[in-house]
Structure 1
Amino acid sequence: MTADALSEYFEHCPGLLFIASADGVIDRCSRSLARRFESRLSEAATLASLAADGERETVEAFLGALAETDEAVTCVFGVPDQAGGTTKVRCEARRSSTGSIHGTLEPVAATGAGSAELEIRQTLLRTVMDTLDIVLWAVDPTGKFVFHEGKALATAGLTPGQFLGMNVFDIYPPAATAPIQEALYGTASHYKSEVHGVNWETWNIPLKNEAGVTEYCAGLTLDITATVKSQAELEHQLQTIQEQRRAIQALSAPLIEVWDKVLTVPLIGVLDDEQTNKLIERLLAEVSRSGAAYVILDLTGVEALDTSIASHILRLLASLRLLGVEGLVTGVSPYVAQTMVGLGVELGSVGTHRNLRDALRHCMRALLG
C-alpha cells in the first residue's frame, strides 16, 4: 500500500486504528480515533497516556506482552472521554517485523448508569446461578458449548465450564439433542427429561441477530428432582388413601352369608351415591354367585337417616327385587323409625324385623318349608 493510500485509509476508516512504536508512542492514528479521544492525544501521546489513572499498568503489561510475541495480544482499559466519564476500550494489537505496533481500539461498555445497570444484571445473573438449582448454557450453530455455568452442575457430577468447546451432539444421543437442533433452526422448546440420574426441566431459546438468523441456542435447565420425588410420594399417598377408602367402604357394608342362600349386609355410617352404586354392584354380583334367595339389610349401625339415605336403601331393595331376591330390613332404631315416618318414606311390601335374629328365623322357616 502506498503512503497516499495509507493516508487516505486512516482518514476515512471508521475504525479506531493506530500505529505505535515498540514503547507505545502513537506515531499515527485514524481520524476516528483522533476525534474520539482528542483530549488525550498530544504530539507525544502514548498508549499508556490514553489510559485512565490507575489503569496505565495494564497498558504497560500489554506492551510487555507484545514485545515477547508476534501473535495478537488483547487488553481492556478505561480511557477518559470528553464528557468527563470513562470509556472502556478493548485494545488488540500485533507487533510487526520492524518492531512497530499495529492495533485497534474498540469501545466495549459505557460508564455511568448504563454500566451500573449492566453490572447489576451480571451480579443478579451470578447470584441466580449460584443460588438456584439451575444450569445456564449456550451452544453455537455447530453445537459447540460457548457457555456452561450453574449450581445444578454439581448435582449431575459436572463442573462449571466443563463442556466449553465440546459439541453437545457428540456428548448426548440424538433423542436428547433434537430440541436443541430445533432451537438452532429457530423454534423454542420446553420439556422434561432425566439425564445424569437427575430430573430436569429445560427451556431451549433461539438467540437471533438483527437479521433474524439464529446465532446461538440458549438453555435454562432446572433441577426438578425434588419436585418429581415429592409428586411421586404424593401420588403414592393418594393411592394409599384411595385403597384405604375402598377398604373402609367394604367394611361399612360387608357381605356376610349367615345361612345357606341368606346374605346379610350390615350398613354402617352414611351412604352416598358412590357408595350405594358400589354396594349394589357388589351385592348383585354376590347374589348371582351364591344363588341367595334372601338379603337382610341390617340398619343397626345407621344412627341418622335423611331422604337421600332412605332413597339409596329403597333403590338397593328394588334392585334385589328385580333379581327375584327378597329383601328384608332389620335393626331400625326408634329414632330412625321416627325420621322415616316424618320424611314420608314407605317401605311398602318390604319385610321388616326387630333384629337380625328375627329376620334370620323368618328366612330359615321359608327355606325349610
Structure 2
Amino acid sequence: MREASPPAPSFQDELNELGDELRQKALPGERLLETHRRLTEESRERRWRGQLLEQIAECLPLNIFAKDGEHRYLLANKNVRKLAGCESAQVIGKTDFDILPEPVARRIRASDERLRAAGGMRVEEFAIEPADGQTRHLLIGKTLVRSEATEQEVLIGFSIDVTESKRVELELRDKIALIERQQAVIRALSTPIIEVWDRVLTVPMLGAIDSARAGAVMEDLLAEVSRRGARFAILDLTGVEAMDTGTAAHLLKLVQAIRLLGAEGIITGVQPSGARTMVALGLDLEHVTTLSSLREGLRYCMNQMRAGAAV
C-alpha cells in the first residue's frame, strides 16, 4: 500500500513558526536594551549619590577638601572657600600658595608632604590668618586614598574651627593661674611665717590642718629656714582644731627636716585631740621638743641662745 503523505501545515502553524524565529532574532537586542536601562539607572543613582554627598559637604560645619598629587584642590566646600576668601572657581585647580598667605601655605605644604611620606592619618592644629585678618585655630585631619579613575593617590581631609574652644581654654588657664595665686596668698595668710626673734621663726597654725596643708607648710617653712639661716623654728598648734593621722606624721617629718638644715624644730600648744592622734600613731617624740605654749617656746629659744652665747 502507498503511505499517506503528512498533512500540510496549517496557516496558524506557519504563523507560530515565524513568531518563534522573530523572537530568537530579537533576543540579543532585548538584552542590549535591558543592559542599557540598567546602566542608565546605575548612572542616575551614582549622580544622585554624588549630589547628596556634595550637599552634605556643603551643609556640615566643617572645612572639607581634597587635593591631587600636585597639591591642587580637587574639592573644596563653601567653608574652605570662605576661609580663603575665594569663589569655587578660584580654589579648584589651585594650590594653597595660590589662595593662602605664604607662611601658612608653606606650613600646610610641609604637613602634606609628611603625610605622603609616612601615610596613615595625620591630625594637627594650625593657626592661620585668613582674608578677614582674624586669626583662626583649626584642627585638621587628613589621609590618603587611591582614586579608582586615575589610580593616583588623593589627599582628603577636613578641619574644624576650634578658635572659640581655644579662647575658652586660655581663659580657663588664666582663671586657674589666678586661683592658684589667690590660694598661695590665702595659704601665706593662714600660716604666716614670722621671725619673732633674731634667727627664731614661728608658724602659728589655725583651724583644721589636713595633709595637703601640712605639706605646703613644710615646703614654705623649710625654704624660710634655709633663706634666713634660722636657729629655731616653732610650730605653734594652739589654734589647731583638728588634725588627721597624715598631718601628725607630716609635722614629725617637718621637725626632722628642720634638724637636717641645722636648726631645731619645736612644737608648742598641742591640743588634747592632737596629742591623742600622735600617741595613737606611736610617733617617736623623744627627740622632739614639745612645750605647752608659744610663750614657753620663745622662752626656751631665748634660754638656749643665751646659753650658747655664754659658752
How high is the TM-score relative to the length of structure 1? 0.60
1:217 aligns with 2:150: no
1:147–1:161 Cα contact (<8 Å) kept: no
Higher strand share: 1
CA RMSD after TM alignment: 3.6
Give the Cα separation in 2 of the matches to 1:213 and 1:82. Answer: 27
Post-superposition offset of 1:149: 0.9
Give the Cα separation in 2 of the matches to 1:186 and 1:353. Answer: 70
Query: Given residue 119 of structure 2, which amino acid in structure 1 is its aligned partner?
Result: T
Name 1:205's counterpart in structure 2.
Answer: 143
1:206–1:214 Cα contact (<8 Å) kept: no
Name 1:354's counterpart in structure 2.
Answer: 292
Higher helix share: 2
Query: Given residue 43 of structure 2, which amino acid in structure 1 is its aligned partner?
Result: A
Name 2:170's counterpart in structure 1.
Answer: 232
Relative to 1, partners in 2 of residues 1:167 and 1:353: Cα closer, same or farther, differing over 3 Å?
closer
Name 1:270's counterpart in structure 2.
Answer: 209
Aligned residue for 1:303, secondary structure, equals strand
Relative to 1, partners in 2 of residues 1:161 and 1:181: Cα closer, same or farther, differing over 3 Å?
farther
Relative to 1, partners in 2 of residues 1:202 and 1:298: Cα closer, same or farther, differing over 3 Å?
same
Name 2:79's counterpart in structure 1.
Answer: 151
Name 2:127's counterpart in structure 1.
Answer: 194
Alignment equivalent of 1:165, drawn from 93, 100, 116: 93
Relative to 1, partners in 2 of residues 1:299 and 1:163: Cα closer, same or farther, differing over 3 Å?
same
**Gaps (5+ residues) in structure 2?**
1-27
1:145–1:165 Cα contact (<8 Å) kept: yes
Name 2:110's counterpart in structure 1.
Answer: 178
Q: How does 1:133-152 map to 2 (within 5 A)?
A: 134-151=62-79
Name 1:24's counterpart in structure 2.
Answer: none
**Gaps (5+ residues) in structure 1?**
1-33, 40-80, 89-107
1:109 aligns with 2:58: no
Aligned residues: 269
Query: Given residue 264 of structure 1, which amino acid in structure 2 is its aligned partner?
Result: T
Query: Given residue 193 of structure 2, which amino acid in structure 1 is its aligned partner?
Result: L
Give the Cα separation in 2 of the matches to 1:325 and 1:184. Answer: 64
1:334 aligns with 2:272: yes
Alignment equivalent of 1:260, drawn from 198, 202, 225: 198
Query: Given residue 87 of structure 1, which amino acid in structure 2 is its aligned partner?
Result: T
Post-superposition offset of 1:315: 1.3
How high is the TM-score relative to the length of structure 2? 0.69
Alignment equivalent of 1:311, drawn from 249, 255, 261: 249
Could you list the structure 1 runs, at least 4 aligned residues long, displaced by more than 6 angstroms after superposition. 36-39, 82-86
Aligned residue for 1:332, secondary structure, equals coil
Name 2:8's counterpart in structure 1.
Answer: none
Aligned residue for 1:142, secondary structure, equals coil
1:152–1:223 Cα contact (<8 Å) kept: no
